[in-house]
Each structure stands twice: as structure tokens, then as C-alpha cells.
Amino acid sequence: MDIKDAFIHTFNTRQGYYLYDVNTNSILKIDKNLYEYINKRKNGSSEIKEDLEEKINKMRDQGFLSSKRVEKMEHSFSSLLPYVIKNRLSSITLQVTQQCNLRCEYCVYSGSYKNRIHDDKSMSFDIAKKGIDLLIENSSESNMINIGFYGGEPLLRPDFIMQCVEYAKEQAEGQNILFHMTTNGTLLKGKIADYMAENDVQILVSLDGPEEIHDKNRKFASNGKGTFKVIMENIAELKKKHPEYVKKNISFNAVLDGTTDFHCTTKFFCEYEDIKDFRINTASVSNQYSNKEIRMKESFYIDISYERFKFLLYKLGKLDKRYASKLYETEFAKSIVSINERKNYKSVSKKEHHGGPCVPGLNRLFMDTDGTFYPCERVSELSEHMKIGNIYDGFDLDKMDKILNIGRLTEDKCRNCWAYRFCYLCAAFADNIEGLSKEKKLSNCVRVRNDIEERMKNYCMMREMGYAFNDEAAYALEGEVL
């Protein structure tokens, strides 16, 4: 077999040269001469160097450099879909209301996206009960079930949420149950906050940074004023009354607006006394369903890159923790640590699916005010092909299978893509509302491959610098296999 047919990808850091072997999912550290030779051969060079060919043959003998590709894109859960939906549901998120007391500039319901807009529709308790019953009845193999409250702004209807919590506790009959909620935080006070604390409700509060950045987008619908001070007052009061609850159950989600000062945002979350001990998640303003292209300032990207660099220095023990951005903690776990924790294989299977899609509804089932089911809360509610059933008729398994196997849409490209194991494109990235678009899905591929290569480079760089990942021992091959 010629090396040009091998299913591999090469890359280098400042200190090392690497080969990613797709079949075994291994990253191999190789010397510069072999690296350059493999790249030349992959690009069509006919020059043969016997000493390097000997090294290549040794690698083949050890199970690397296979040319084997996936023959058919098929998710491993396809045949199990009816069973897992019947027995392993673990979560449902209830759209409490489509109303909101804020009008955030970047909100997916603001009218700037291919999605519904804010409305006065609210979920009836009868529909909520049916959703909770469905979760309980179809979760016999789940160790814990999760019930979430979403909007709009769910705390516009606190009595409804309390009804749902009490009903679920009554019906679950000893089953472990966790409640969670996403809120803008402006109504998280008084008896409402006390009830959340008494029932250990996990709460994700939207907070974008310091006052001038947060208030740029997150404003009250009634008067157009910013919400920062109100949220801070509510959190301070909650901490005072329920400190242990807050420490355990409250976290923040910061939407990173690329037109603002990222350095100012990260400094706030690291240094602001009332915030610095909280868990922080981040999300970016999305182009996914946007009616217009969202552009970010060049300085924003520069600042992000700098903060990532500082965080890596902190992990390597070369920078004090107080200088490391908390906004990169989750990303570090999702990117570099995920490379370290990848599984090893003997080879690709005949039937596999690229990374990305989860089983629709299994872990993040979303039910709107009318009782319609969606794979999660991140897809557009205008997309007919994202409506995977409803509370009256049950699940549409054909639609779910199509969403689960979105790789079939781009099978010829995916089966030859070196990054397919790490791909994170699900059906939402192919959704143009009218249908699932092959062209739209493929338009994301270059960005994804570049991102995955960057993750691998950072991982290898940290290994070079002596960072101790908690992984199994590497073994030797032209240096080592990482």
C-alpha cells in the first residue's frame, strides 16, 4: 500500500512533528525527516528513500497507516433508537412561556434569526404534566432524571414552576430527580428565590460581563434600561440568605459579543468580588440561524487568543491562577482534555458516524408551549424537520433517525475526512429551515478541521512542556505515541 492512501493527517508544533492516524485514533510523534517525507509522498512525490520506507513499514507492522475508510455513515444508536427512547430518556426541558421581560439584542427570539419571536403563549399545566409523565414513564434505565424550565423568561410564571416541581416529586416515586432552569436573573428574588433554594434547583443566570458590556445587549422590555444592577442585587441577597445553595447550584452564562472588549469581560469574571467564585459558561453570538452575518472585531479575536495562551501557561505552572481567564476553563476541558481522553481503536468500522449528533431528545428533549418535541432548545422552532414528535402522538422515529444520521447527507466527504471522529456538526448546522442542506453543512467543515488541528497542536505542545495529563502510559514509536 502506498503511503499516499493512508488515512492520516500531519501537523507540527514549534518543537515537534506529528502524525494523526485516523484508524487507530492515535497521535504519533515522528522525526522531521519522516514528517517531510510523508508529506511529499502524500502530495505525489515519487522519490523513494529506503531508510524512511523501512520506518513506514515498521509503523504498518504495528497497526498504523491503514487506508481503510468508513463504508457507510450510520450512527451506532440507529437500530437502538426505539429502545433507548422508550427506556433511557433522562431529561425534558419545558418551555414555560414565550414571553420575556427583556429584549436582548442578540437573542434568538429577537427577530434577527430564523426562529419564532417573543410571544404571549404559555404552557398549560396539563401539557406540562403530560411531558413530566412521559419522562418518568420512559426513563426506567436512567439513574437520574432532569426537568428544566426555559423561556422566554421562566420566572415570569413562578407558580407554574412550583406546580411542576411538586407534581414531579409526587409522580417520580423515589426516583432521583434534578431540577434546572435558565433565567435572566432579574426576577430571582424573594419567595421565588427561597423556593429554588429549598428545592436545590440548579440555575444558570445570564450575565455577560461588567455593567457597560452586559447592559449593551440585555435590557428591560418596558424601559430599555440595562439589567446588570438588578441581577447583582438579586445574587447578593441570595448569597446572604442561602450561601451553601448558591455555592453549589448557581452558575453564570456569558454570551461573548464580538463587538465588545473581551479583556474587560474576562477581567470582570476573574476579579469582581461578588462573581469570581462562581462557575462560568460561555457562548458566542451565533451565525447558525442568523438573518445576517455576525462580524466580530479583530481585537476581540486577538484578546481571546491571548487569554487562551495565558490559561495554558497557568496549566503548565508558569502563571499564577489569578491571571488566568475563567472563561477558558470549560473550553480547555472540551478541547484539549477531550483530545487526551479519546478512545483507541484497531481500525475504523464499516459502519460509523462522524462525531457531533447526539440521540435526538435523549438527553436534552425540549418541549414547547404547545407540546411539540425538539432535539434540544438550540434548534429553530420554525423547522418542521426539527419537530420530532409531540405530547399527543409520541415520537417521530423516522425524523429522529434522519437527524441522528446527518452524516448521510455528506457521506462522500465525511468518510474521507481525517477529522471525522472529532467533528461536532449536528443537524442544526445543516438546517436552513426549508430543509437539511448539504451545502450549509459542508460550509462549516474547514472551520471545524482547523479547530480540531489547533486542539491537537495545543495538546501536543502541552505534552512537550511536561504537562501531566492523567492518561495511560505512552509507548515508544519513533519517539512516542501520545
pTM, two decimals, is 0.92
The domain 80-334 is placed in CATH, from the list 3.30.2350.10, 3.20.20.70, 3.30.230.10, 3.30.420.40, at 3.20.20.70
Domain limits of the chain?
A: 3-68, 80-334
- Give every CB contact of residue 167 below 8 A, 6+ residues apart in sequence: 128, 129, 132
Please say whether the beta carbons of 133 and 394 come within 8 A: no
| pLDDT digit string (tens) for the chain, length 482 residues | 689 999 999 999 999 999 999 999 999 999 999 999 999 999 999 899 999 999 999 999 999 999 999 999 999 999 999 999 999 999 999 999 999 999 998 888 888 778 888 899 999 999 999 999 999 999 999 999 999 999 999 999 999 999 999 999 999 988 899 999 999 999 999 999 999 999 999 999 999 999 999 999 999 999 999 999 999 999 999 999 999 999 999 999 999 888 888 889 988 988 888 787 788 888 876 667 767 666 778 888 888 889 889 999 999 999 998 888 888 888 888 888 889 989 999 999 999 999 999 999 999 999 999 999 999 999 999 999 999 999 999 999 999 999 999 999 999 999 999 999 999 999 999 999 999 999 999 999 999 999 999 999 999 999 999 998 864 333 333 345 55
Q: Which three cell numbers stand for residue 278?
A: 462562581
Question: Three-state SS for 271?
Answer: helix
Which position has the grid cell 440561524? 289
Q: Which three cell numbers stand for residue 135?
A: 419522562
Q: Among 281, 282, 429, which residue's Cα sits nearest to residue 355?
A: 429
For the sheet with 372-374, list strands across it: 279-284, 250-256, 202-206, 177-183, 145-150, 91-95, 365-367, 372-374, 389-390, 394-395
